[in-house]
Amino acid sequence: MARRPPRTLSNEDRKLWSAVAKTVTRNAQPKKPVLDQSRPKPKPTPARTPEPDFKVQDFRIGETAPPALPGHRLSPSISDRLAAAPVRMDHATHKKMKRGKLSPEGRIDLHGMTLDQAHPALIGFIQRAQAQGKRLVLVITGKGKHRDDPGPIPARRGVLKHQVPAWLRAVPLSGLVLEIREAHLRHGGSGAYYVYLRRSR
């Protein structure tokens, strides 16, 4: 098979190419800006430290400390929370109960029990009392013991004292209990609770 001769441009193609080439200009490389070495370099602006939401006031020895900041107030005790709760029972009966003038119709002593023992015991007691038509019962929890060595993590004193109101407000007892208040001194004071039950249907 014979090889074809190499293709060459015709005279017309050469004239056309020459005309196009004359219109093309070479791209000039952009010059890099020359830095003025005589001027000092600008110093970086330091990051601004945000100001705290509060200002620490000067304090001198012997002065009374200012009140605690709103975000650092301790939560109220269980006694304060129960005392501040709205009254849901008859007000006249409530006043008698607070003064210790109503005698509980039943009582249970959870003092010394573990949480696993106390919870089912409380549920059974409240359910039986409500089924029997009792209205006011006494739940004894104890005040809790002070530890000689609380350890690195502070533990709440009186676990049962704090847990029993939560149990009474939770299922299955929440529908049976009308009111929870700390007992009068004659019935155990802060180591016991009056539990006023709803009428059985």
| % residues pLDDT > 70 (the chain) | 65
Gap between the Cα atoms of 41 and 149, Å rounded: 62
Q: What would the pLDDT profile of 147-185 be if each residue is shown by its tens digit?
A: 545 555 555 568 999 999 999 999 999 999 999 999 999
Identify the CA nearest to 122 among candidates 173, 80, 66: 173
Q: Which two tokens stand for residue 101?
A: 């003038």
Residue with tokens 């004359």: 22
Amino acid at 117: Q
Q: Which residue has the higher pLDDT, 18 or 161?
A: 161
What is the rounded CA–CA span in Å between residue 109 and residue 192? 9
Q: What is the pLDDT of residue 97?
A: 96
**Count of CB atoms within 10 A of residue 125's CB?**
18
Among candidate residues 123, 135, 106, the one with its CA nearest the CA of residue 199: 135
**Reported pTM:** 0.60
**Which of 17 and 51 is assigned the larger pLDDT?**
17
Q: What are 61's two structure tokens?
A: 């020895």
* Beta strand pairing call for 106-109 and 136-140: parallel
Quote the percentage of the chain above a pLDDT of 90. Answer: 48
Model pLDDT, residue 191: 94
SS (H, E, C) 31-46: CCCCCCCCCCCCCCCC
Q: What is the pLDDT of residues 19-78, one digit of tens each?
A: 877 777 666 566 666 655 666 666 767 666 656 555 556 666 766 666 655 554 557 888
Burial class (CB in 10 A: 0-12, 13-18, 19+), 137: buried
pLDDT band at 143 (very low <50, low <70, confident <90, very high): confident
pLDDT in tens, 112-126: 899 999 999 999 999
